[in-house]
């Protein structure tokens, strides 16, 4: 098989590994068996994210068996390319629809959230509310700050949390997503804010991790602990 002709579909090849029959009893004792399961598990997660829910598990198993056994392939390259192209196109269409729906849901969330008492909307569209007020110094874009935070989607699912890890982080104010850059410069040391960040001030149409879908509004509880003294570090 001419592998370069299937390069555009390599990602989808991995997805089909997840189609193995869930009713099949397997042993997971040896390192090879465990690694095999891990491959299937990872690919299964990718499969679920892509919406590939109609693959034939028996055909998947047959393909794996033929490949491992170095048997003659049962379909021509042209047939495989056509099939992969179909799945790729369908996946892209489904993803576009999901992204559009996510954008609409995010817009509706922010519109409703803006009406709540205590929520302030800035000119950029960033929304925030002050959870704990303080009179400390305010950071500049050129500063490095120490913060504690927890990031959630609008459905409440946590995708990152320094609080859970039990360790605050140092970061340059200008080196984070635009919603944080703006929000941090509004805060005083000792304050805790809740930021509601529109997707265009976060990751936009990109999905940085599976935990953050494209066009997601991000919700952060953010506590500004201190501003680092640059001169003290020299």
Q: Which of 128, 193, 203, 227 is catalytic?
A: 203
> 196 an active-site residue?
no
132 near 191, Cβ under 8 Å? yes
> 81 an active-site residue?
no
Q: Which residue has the tokens 């960040």?
A: 197
As a whole number of angstroms, the distance between CA 182 and CA 60 comes to 49
Angle at the Cα of 32 from the Cα atoms of 29 and 37, rounded to 5 degrees: 75
Q: Which of 159, 212, 227, 229 is catalytic?
A: 159
Q: Which of 128, 149, 193, 196 is catalytic?
A: 149
> 39 an active-site residue?
no
> 160 an active-site residue?
yes
As a whole number of angstroms, the distance between CA 130 and CA 196 comes to 12
Local structure of 39: helix, strand or coil: helix
Q: Which of 37, 66, 81, 160 is catalytic?
A: 160
Question: Cα separations (Å) of 191 from 49, 132, 136, 218?
Answer: 37, 5, 8, 19
DSSP 69-89: TTPPPSS-HHHHHHHHHHHHH
As a whole number of angstroms, the distance between CA 234 and CA 229 comes to 9
Beta-bridge partner residues of 169:
147
93 near 142, Cβ under 8 Å? no
Q: Which of 177, 196, 197, 229 is catalytic?
A: 177
> 227 an active-site residue?
no
> 37 an active-site residue?
no
Pick from 69, 82, 63: nearest CA to 5: 82
Tokens of 198: 């529109």
Catalytically annotated residues: 149, 159-160, 177, 203, 220
């Amino acid at each position: 098989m001419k592998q370069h002709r299937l390069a555009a579909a390599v990602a989808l090849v991995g997805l089909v590994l997840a189609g193995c029959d869930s009713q099949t009893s397997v042993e997971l004792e040896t390192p090879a068996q465990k690694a095999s399961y891990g491959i299937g598990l990872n690919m299964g997660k990718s499969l679920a994210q892509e919406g590939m829910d109609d693959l034939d598990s028996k055909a998947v198993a047959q393909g794996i068996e033929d490949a491992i056994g170095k048997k003659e392939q049962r379909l021509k390259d042209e047939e495989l390319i056509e099939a992969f192209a179909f799945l790729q196109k369908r996946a892209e269409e489904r993803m576009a629809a999901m992204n559009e729906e996510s954008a609409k849901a995010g817009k509706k969330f922010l519109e409703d959230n803006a009406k709540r008492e205590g929520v302030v909307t800035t000119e950029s569209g960033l929304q925030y509310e002050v959870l704990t007020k303080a009179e400390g110094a305010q950071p500049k874009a050129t500063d490095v700050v120490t913060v504690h935070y927890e990031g959630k989607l609008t459905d409440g699912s946590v995708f990152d949390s320094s609080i859970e890890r039990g360790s605050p982080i140092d970061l340059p104010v200008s080196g984070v997503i635009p919603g944080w850059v703006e929000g941090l410069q509004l805060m005083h040391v000792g304050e805790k804010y809740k930021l509601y960040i529109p997707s265009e001030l976060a990751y936009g149409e990109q999905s940085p991790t599976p935990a953050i879908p494209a066009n997601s509004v991000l919700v952060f509880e953010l506590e500004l602990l201190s501003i680092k003294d640059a001169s003290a570090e020299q």
